[in-house]
A and B are shown apart, each in its own frame.
Chain A
């Protein structure tokens, strides 16, 4: 079969993904690395199943990045974006500026002409939005300080691409006119001022369109009740943004992001998101595969040490710069190491700059090939760096910080250890402190630890599920261990550690929800606190009261509900493993509870209010059968 045919290509790409991604995930490597490996395997270096058309596939698949930014924009409300302005402009601006300057200097020292050096600096300053955001999301750390900072910097880089594209044509030795550089871009026929106006006009068009045009259109489309038409409309929207932005020389990713933000408050947000998600995933996957396939193993084999050294050196320098910036912006050491390792690769936009540079001879062809391999390798190494950070760097940080405070902790010998001092643990902790109960507090969020320490609270940094840290916190002498961590997986790990190494401790454990509570019950934990049960029942009782129920009756009903529900939780825990059994048992319990709470039924147990007012007693007296 001819290798260029569409179906053949689709078959190879999809087969590679379907085989490699599950394997990578099973090995704990994440989907991005799976795609990249799939690309390397089908690439010319190994199986050679794909040829030169992989470049076209990459260009097409880059559209997945645009979609991803659109989805991210949908999740970001304008207010949040405004809150991030300091880190976008500050961290992002500084990162791009410093990185460009440093690599400009390094390239000059290596003997490159200054124009090529500047091009290298700009190339290296960009990171990979696709790989970093995908990985951050997959690991669920996009909302942490490290995640937010990474996101801010990536956003700024996307903005910085615009002036870079403008500067690149001027770097061609001997000069080149802008028309040649951009090929057919009609916008270059205009003067600088007109260009600026056109770009601003395009941005305005996206914002205004998103605000006033898209909603009625989607409303009409949704009215047809044809699901595929809605999907078509979503794709149409994103492609329109892509066309508008590329026509005026803006980064399409940036435009899509803007479009997403504009629609973040619309009622179609979730629909948009779920419709575009599969396309985004597939395209991003193809994109990562193309990157993997573009790694020229033969070229690497010619000078492996030089290339590997260059890649690692580059990533090291980049992450040092990032680390310095993170420190300036007061990221805690754990967050900062994630932040600086996440962004230390060269981004996909590097390929665009490189192809432009090679066409116009900014770099020699040897240098161009070299940079291409370095860029692809640095991206391929990023998921590995994430794993390295998770498995090697983070635990060490925890241990070091914990060790530095160890004597202090042991000295205290408190009866209570609290693991996790966020919104949940802090309330319980403050109550204990108010009653002058000695508590040792552990938290694995360095920023929070720093803040709490500034507030005058003795809080220690560390992952409490490490036996040696728990030991250091005085677990051997303590009586209670309060576990109020945010992540259920961490909670379960800590429960296991505590039960194994310190069986004498009584555990009081925060549970996220019902399923979480069942997991804990299965481990024999007695004191389980589902984090919203009490509050939501209090809310329900207040709602009853505001509707005219007596305050005491409302409170009593809530208490009845609570105790019935707690009992049902324990009874149902055994059936939980069997889905069908569980559902039928749960339905029974719910019906039972509703029956119990139906105050109209004269003889339900809510007739708690003392016999003197109960209807049965009254009957008895009126009939004269009392006595």
Chain B
């Protein structure tokens, strides 16, 4: 069984429609560690040692967050800045994360079509996530393709339910090692594998 750590960052979960459902479902999954960063560090004072310990205890890391201005919410960036320390996560002596897997699981308000050359945002989601991908590589991890839950603004409650169970299914498959991760790594989005 793969050990999965979901690092969840959402500054206004009480207002969200989609993420709140997803977060609730993931929190209840067996064998998966769910870490609600905004609940844990409301004043941005991150316990670096504890977070690093948590990372070493897991095989697959998930950064789950909504896309805000083509990036992650600020607390996750703060987490990356502080926890992925030089000579621990990267650098000549930084091997703590080597061999682990990492991917982003994101929600976007706009639909899939908006994230294309002809769409409103002009670039693909994968392109917007390049900084995260490179961060993973620098830390000697394998970056898996992002998992996207898009068009959340238009979702009704049955859509949200379907979206949630699909994402939960992915996490279960990863946990139970039912996926070929090397094959997955070649995909544009995790969604395409399924």
> Which of A's residues lie within 8 Å of B, judged by CB?
549-556, 599, 607-610, 612-614, 617-618, 621-622, 627
Number of A-B contacts (CB under 8 A): 54
16 contacts between A and B (CB under 8 A): A550-B12, A550-B39, A551-B39, A553-B12, A607-B15, A609-B11, A609-B15, A610-B69, A610-B73, A613-B12, A613-B15, A617-B153, A618-B109, A621-B109, A621-B110, A627-B120
Residue from A550, A599, A612 within 8 A of B13 (CB atoms): A550
Q: Which B residues between 18 and 76 are near A, CB-CB below 8 angstroms?
A: 38-40, 42-43, 66-69, 73
Query: Judging by beta carbons under 8 Å apart, are A610 and B42 in contact?
Result: no
Contact A552 B154 (CB under 8 A): no
User: B16 at the A/B interface (Cβ < 8 Å)?
Assistant: yes
Number of interface residues of B (CB under 8 A): 21
Give chain A nearest CB distance to B148 CB in angstroms. Answer: 14
The answer to whether B66 touches A612 (Cβ under 8 A) is yes
What residues on B are CB-neighbors of A627 within 8 Å?
120
Contact (Cβ within 8 A) A551 B38? yes
Q: Across the interface, name the chain A residue whose C-beta is closest to B68.
A: A610
Residues of B within 8 A of A549 (CB): 14
New A-B pairs, 20, CB < 8 Å, besides A610-B11, A613-B12? A549-B14, A550-B14, A550-B42, A551-B38, A551-B40, A551-B42, A552-B11, A552-B12, A552-B38, A552-B39, A555-B42, A555-B43, A599-B14, A607-B15, A608-B12, A610-B68, A618-B109, A618-B153, A621-B109, A627-B120
Given A551-B38, A627-B120, A609-B110 contact (CB < 8 Å): no
Tell whether A617 pairs with B42 under 8 Å between CB atoms, given A610-B11, A610-B73. Answer: no
| Assembled-state Cα–Cα distance A386/B12 (Å) | 62
The residue on A at minimum CB distance from B13 is A550
> How far, in whole Å, are A614 and B162 apart by their CA atoms in the complex?
23
Task: Using CB atoms, name the residue of chain A closest to B74.
Answer: A610
**B-to-A contact residues, CB < 8 Å:** 11-16, 38-40, 42-43, 66-69, 73, 109-110, 120, 153-154
C-alpha spacing A627/B119, complex, angstroms = 11
- B38 cross-chain contacts in A, Cβ below 8 A: 550-552
List of B residues within 8 angstroms of A599 by Cβ: 14
A190–B147 alpha-carbon span in the complex (Å):
98
Shortest beta-carbon distance, A524 to chain B, in Å? 32
**Contact between B12 and A610, CB atoms less than 8 A apart:** yes
Nearest-neighbour CB distance to chain B for A626, whole angstroms, equals 8
Q: Which of B12, B14, B16, B153 contacts A621 (CB 8 A)?
A: B153
Q: How far is the CA of A617 from the CA of B40 in the complex (A)?
A: 28
CB contact under 8 A between A612 and B42, given known A618-B109, A618-B153: no
Complex Cα gap A609–B19 (Å): 14
- A610-B11, A613-B16, A618-B109 given; A552·B42 CB < 8 A: yes
Please list the 3 inter-chain residue pairs (A to B) with the smallest Cβ-Cβ separation, ordered nearest first.
Answer: A609-B12, A551-B42, A555-B42
Report chain A residues within 8 Å CB of B11: 552, 609-610
Bound: A555/B154 CA distance, A: 30
CA distance A617 to B68 in the complex (A): 13
CB proximity of B190 to chain A, nearest CB, Å: 21
Instruction: Please give the distance in Å from A534's CB to the nearest CB on chain B.
Output: 12
Q: How far, in angstroms, from A552 to B67 measured CA to CA in the complex?
A: 18
Let me know if B42 and A554 touch, CB within 8 A. Answer: yes
Tell me the complex Cα distance, A618–B73, Å: 18
Q: Are B154 and A622 in contact (CB under 8 A)?
A: yes
Instruction: Give every chain B residue within 8 A of A552 (Cβ-Cβ).
Output: 11-12, 38-39, 42
- Contact in complex: A617, B109 (CB < 8 Å): yes
Q: How far, in whole Å, are A550 and B68 apart by their CA atoms in the complex?
A: 19
Chain B, residue nearest A621 (CB) = B153
Q: What is the CB-to-nearest-CB distance from B65 to chain A, in angstroms, rounded to a whole number?
A: 11
Chain B residues with CB under 8 A of A608: 12
Q: What distance in Å separates the Cβ of A246 from its nearest Cβ neighbour in chain B?
A: 64
Residue of A nearest to B109 (CB): A612
Distance from B121 Cβ to chain A, minimum over Cβ atoms (Å): 12
A553 to B14, CA, bound (A): 8
Residues of B within 8 Å of A610, CB to CB, are 11-12, 68-69, 73
Shortest Cβ gap from A599 to chain B (Å): 8
Contact A612 B67, beta carbon cutoff 8 Å = yes
Residues of B within 8 A of A614 (CB): 15
Bound Cα distance A61, B116 (Å): 95
